[in-house]
Chains A and B, each alone.
Chain A
C-alpha cells in the first residue's frame, strides 16, 4: 500500500467550476503538506504549503488538512483553462528533508 494515495484522474470540468482534489495518507508523522502544480512537459512548482491541520487560502486556491482523517484537499474556485495541469500532493515529516508524493491528478478545464 502506498503511503500517499491520490486519484490520478483524469478530471475534466467546465470553466468556472469548483474543483476538489484530494489525497489520503497513512503516515501519522506527516506534518507538512504541499500541493504542486505541473504543466505539461515542465517541472512541478509549489502552489500551496500548509503546516499541520487547518485551512489556507490563496486567491482562488484553498488547501485543507484534516490530520484526524489523514486527508488533504485542494479546492480551486472559478476554475480557468490555465489551471489545466497535473496537481501533486506532497508531504513531509518534521525531521528530514524527504517529501512523499502522490501520483498526481491530471486536471483539464474546458473553456
Chain B
C-alpha cells in the first residue's frame, strides 16, 4: 500500500512565523503535490514537483514556497504565516510511469494549521 505521511496533524502558529510542513511518501513516486482545502473552495493546488529539485506553481502559490531535496520528501514553507493561511493542508503523490491506475494521486492524512 502507498503510504504518504505528513509531519503534523495539527499546528498552531502565530502571524509572521515561518512554518514548515513536511510530507514523505514511501512508494518511490516521481510526482508530489501540496493542496489546501477550505470549505466552499474545495482542493486547491499550491505547488507540485515532478522530480527532485524541480517545482511547478499550482493555482495559488502566493505566500508559499516548496523544497524537494530528496525524492521521497516534499516540504511546504509558509515564509511569513498569515491568518488567511489557516487551512487544511494535504500532500499527495503519484507515479509518472507505469499503468494508468498508478497516475492517480494518493493523499496523506492532512495537517490542520491554525494561524493566530
Interface residues in chain A, defined as those with a beta carbon under 8 Å from any beta carbon in chain B: 8, 32, 34, 36, 41-46, 49, 51, 88, 90, 92, 97-99, 101-104
Are A44 and B103 in contact (CB-based, < 8 A)?
Answer: no
Given the contacts A8-B40, A34-B104, A103-B42, A97 and B90 also touching, CB distance less than 8 Å: no
A46 to B106, CA, bound (A): 7
CB distance from B46 to the nearest CB of A (A): 12
A13 to B50, CA, bound (A): 41
Which residue of chain A has its CB nearest to the CB of B9?
Answer: A41
Are A41 and B110 in contact (CB-based, < 8 A)?
Answer: yes
Closest 7 CB pairs of A and B: A43-B107, A103-B42, A101-B43, A97-B31, A43-B109, A44-B107, A43-B110
The segment from B12-20, B62-70, B75-83, B94-102 found at the interface with A is B94-102
Given the contacts A43-B110, A97-B50, A97-B94, A49 and B104 also touching, CB distance less than 8 Å: yes
Interface size class, chain B: 20 to 34
Which residue of chain A has its CB nearest to the CB of B50?
Answer: A97
**B-chain residues with CB within 8 Å of residue A46 when the two chains form the complex:** 104-106
Is B48 located at the chain interface by the 8 A CB criterion? yes
**A-chain residues with CB within 8 Å of residue B112 when the two chains form the complex:** 41
